[in-house]
Amino acid sequence: MKRYEAGNMDVFQYLVLERSHLNASRSAVRARTAQLRANVALIRALGGGWTAANASTK
């Protein structure tokens, strides 16, 4: 943003850069989501888990 505001970059370049940043952030969120889902699947496969009654008491 600073480069754009300083006039060192046009709006198209800024938007391309912003889109790349957002795509990278989205990919990181998807990777973290997949990791957490895999952790839950592993815990369930190993016989772990929780019930609604256990969750409400904490």
**Is 57 a member of any domain?**
no
Please indicate, yes or no, if residue 27 is contained in any of the structural domains: yes
Please indicate, yes or no, if residue 58 is contained in any of the structural domains: no
pLDDT value for 57: 58
Average pLDDT over residues 24-44: 96
> Which pLDDT band, with edges at 50, 70 and 90, does 53 fall under?
low
Q: Please check whether residue 33 lies inside any domain of the structure.
A: yes
Q: Average model confidence (pLDDT) for the chain?
A: 86
Residue 23 has pLDDT above 90, yes or no: yes
For residue 55, being part of any structural domain is answered with: no
- Which domain, by its residues, includes 40? 2-50
Residues contacting residue 11 through CB under 8 Å, at least 6 positions apart: 4
User: How many domains does the chain divide into?
Assistant: 1
Determine the average pLDDT of the residues in 1-9.
Answer: 78
- Secondary structure (DSSP) of 1-58: -HHHHTTSS-HHHHHHHHHHHHHHHHHHHHHHHHHHHHHHHHHHHTT----HHHHHT-
pTM over 0.75: no
